[in-house]
Amino acid sequence: MRQRWIECLILLCAMANVHAAPDPEGLELASVNAAVAPLEGDTTWYSKHPERSVPIASITKLMTALVVLESGEPMDEWLEVYERHREAPNNAYSRIRIGSELQRRNMLRLALMSSENLAAYTLARHHPGGFEAFVAAMNEQARALGMDQSHFVEPTGLSPRNRASADDLVALVRAIWQHPELRELTATGYYTARFREPRYNLRYGNTNVLVHRGRWDVKLTKTGYLSEAGRCLVMVSMMQGEPVITVLLDSFGTRTPIGDAGRVRRWLKTGQGGAIADAARRYEKQRNREYQQVSRSDAAPES
């Protein structure tokens, strides 16, 4: 009996070691705010300003997706694309024609895999209670998930007032993972949307280039960009045989999040992620100063 107990203990220790991450000192990322975590459990392997609330651009659409799915509204329902009832906070160009229709599921697919802003807006307009009720549901969902550093003002991510922390987004990804349909919609490589009233087709591609690379196994993903937010990437991908959450916020270059994702994968395999460019370090110092200034401004008492 004692021998069997010892064997079980050894097995449990071995299983635990499979999921042990390397020393965080071996990983340097160019993204200003970041988190790396196993999908399962509630631990984080690596973090960088994990509780800092920052603009998240189109990463917002992950919360939009969760609210849409959990509303229980029919995913096959055809939704009409409306004119905006208020001006968009940033450039909101879209190829979708006002008045045309697409099913809710595929409208959500476009919002997630290709970051189509008018599609995300349309989903909110068709929510029970309308646009304002949808935004309220986004913030209610954030509170329910313990996303204490998050706040949403609209569903697309065009507003820099949509904010969250890296830790918050880890929690959001774990919640979204519970919905296989959302995983599939985010990771769609290419899709042709077939609209009606009038009938026309539009071809879309996933904004995360790693989805199109065979050596990456991306299970869930969303990209984002605003000048106030920098380049952002959130995804779940298979690394060392395990689904890993990577949250990368505020990168200074188009390719920086992709480089950081590669560093994370290398770090999990070898214990060393590799070097980052001096330009990225300068950008990070500048952005950290700006965040500190904003924090001091927010904390200053009103005169």
Q: Just list the catalytic residues.
A: 58, 61, 115
| Spatial separation of the C-alpha atoms in residues 236 and 245, rounded to whole Å | 5
257-295 as b/e: b if 16+ CB within 10 A: bbbbbebbbbbbeeeebeebeeebeebbeebeeebeeee
Q: Are 33 and 49 in contact (CB under 8 A)?
A: yes
222 known ligand binder: yes
| Spatial separation of the C-alpha atoms in residues 191 and 205, rounded to whole Å | 6
| Spatial separation of the C-alpha atoms in residues 202 and 297, rounded to whole Å | 45
| Spatial separation of the C-alpha atoms in residues 153 and 131, rounded to whole Å | 10
| Spatial separation of the C-alpha atoms in residues 81 and 262, rounded to whole Å | 38
Q: Which residues have a Cβ under 8 Å from the Cβ of 162 and sit 6 or more positions away?
A: 55, 56, 57, 60, 151, 152, 153, 154
- Whole-Å CA distances, 25 to 21, 22, 146, 271: 11, 8, 28, 9
Tell which residue, 297, 280, 299, 236, has the closest CA to residue 48. 280
Q: How many CA atoms lie within 13 A of 229 on its CB side?
A: 29
Annotated binding site for substrate: 222
Annotated binding site: 222
